[in-house]
Structure 1
């Protein structure tokens, strides 16, 4: 393992430990200290820059104002002993998120500085690439704000919060969910020496939230052993019908928003390899599984059958000896299956735009 990778793992563990500590904290002391340290760091940083004293004063006031609001929120709005545990959990999660507000303000100031640091008499020295970079950053920021309003809407947050208690990071929840009919369909597909990779933009609450961080439209990937997608399978939340983990997926489950769509690709798989992949799915089904919700952030799996969708698809392809790129299984993203196809192993089959089906 490289030193850089070791540092990244240690940092992730440290951040996870900090978040867990804050979530289980029974007093506001830890939050108060972190808010104060963040404000002190940023105030010191702005005073060490070459900005005018006017700018330094304005941002000092802003950071202090944010600190006051943070302290008021954590002192008054969070630690209510009478609140339900899920309400307390959400309030603490918000308290963790607002740690980053002053850093976000600093980032906005950075973008503003880039856009206005070029005087009119210096325009000749400003390259087209520099201007394009500034415009791109600005447009990306606006786009992220728009997406954020949707992903962080009250309805989405409530849905995600209500779904969290259904998950487990340590034990298998989902077992024997796939019936004999499913495996019969898999066996019937053995005459087709391909497996099908489906990437989807579904519009689920979790998918919309994930897209804020991945900046990708397609945030779910599934696997099918037949072209008609009767055997589509992946790791998901169970749609409040089954438990989170390994579940069969129906085509209609992908259609949760007006512009929902899927793209289907296929890859050649010898019959014997395909059998091995099917048997591995049978083994997971019999042993049990759970959705690796926490692993989306920590990039760690505690037990073998606790996975998220892209982790599952990558593992099954690897077991079938048909994986076509190498990556740590806990870091693979749905779009990696398309973007990392350097050797052109995939063949595009078709795309389904669900809004066109309704028209």
Structure 2
């Protein structure tokens, strides 16, 4: 019998003007999705700001809680879920992720795709994603189907509603015990 394996999906709200505009429309508490392979969230991946000071310059990002965008928004709230997966699914996800890592500068943020979600019309471009589309795409390409919809229509709220995800934490990001521990090291 093999030990359980998990991936972690963090949904967050930094409270920025951009996220507040999104929240007014979606009425959802979180508007950003990230994927991690470790429970301490030391390595997280998503599509978002490449420069924490510039919300308009986006693309594929390896997120760092202590030096990236989150470091500028200490009041960030989040919810962290774990998804039980097989070792084989993790290998597949890391293979998919490796393509994003190796070609990171070729990927753009799919702002039109965000608008498409609101119209319930998928807007897809090659090498262009928004955060929840990216997480759903990595899962989907690895054989993990959480919904009967295209990744280009998946929102952070869809993750909250998935019965396959198990809540591990909800609250302030910088009050999450593994983050607090890392801060004190």
Fold-level similarity (TM above 0.5): yes
Distance 1:277 1:356 in 2: 29
1:321, distance to aligned residue in structure 2 (A): 1.7
Counterpart selection for 1:314 from 133, 136, 141: 136
Match of 2:50 in 1: 238
1:296, distance to aligned residue in structure 2 (A): 1.1
Q: Which has the larger radius of gyration?
A: 1
Once the two structures are superposed, the pairs formed by residues 198-213 of structure 1 within 5 Å of their partners are: 198-213=10-25
Q: Name the structure where helix makes up a greater proportion of residues.
A: 1
1:337, distance to aligned residue in structure 2 (A): 0.6
Distance 1:306 1:199 in 2: 20
Counterpart selection for 2:100 from 273, 284, 289: 284
Match of 1:35 in 2: none
Change (3 A) 1:273 1:258: closer
Once the two structures are superposed, the pairs formed by residues 1-359 of structure 1 within 5 Å of their partners are: 193-240=5-52, 244-252=58-66, 253-254=69-70, 259-287=75-103, 288-298=106-116, 299-303=122-126, 305-339=127-161, 341=162, 344-354=163-173
- 8 Å contact 2:52–2:72 — kept in the other structure? no
1:257, distance to aligned residue in structure 2 (A): 5.1
Distance 1:255 1:218 in 2: 18
Distance 1:240 1:257 in 2: 10
1:306, distance to aligned residue in structure 2 (A): 0.3
Distance 1:294 1:239 in 2: 20
Secondary structure at the aligned position of 2:115 is classed as helix
Change (3 A) 1:260 1:284: closer
1:328, distance to aligned residue in structure 2 (A): 2.4
TM-score, normalised by the number of residues in structure 2: 0.78
Distance 2:6 2:151 in 1: 22
Give aligned pairs, total: 164
Change (3 A) 1:210 1:255: farther
1:200, distance to aligned residue in structure 2 (A): 0.6
Distance 1:270 1:257 in 2: 34
1:132-171 superposed Cα distances (whole Å, 9 cap, x missing partner): xxxxxxxxxxxxxxxxxxxxxxxxxxxxxxxxxxxxxxxx
Aligned Cα root-mean-square deviation (Å):
2.5
Change (3 A) 1:195 1:209: same
1:19-72 superposed Cα distances (whole Å, 9 cap, x missing partner): xxxxxxxxxxxxxxxxxxxxxxxxxxxxxxxxxxxxxxxxxxxxxxxxxxxxxx
1:334, distance to aligned residue in structure 2 (A): 0.6
Q: Indicate the structure whose relative CO is greater, using CA pairs within 8 Å and at least 6 residues apart.
A: 2
Distance 1:302 1:355 in 2: 35
TM-score, normalised by the number of residues in structure 1: 0.42
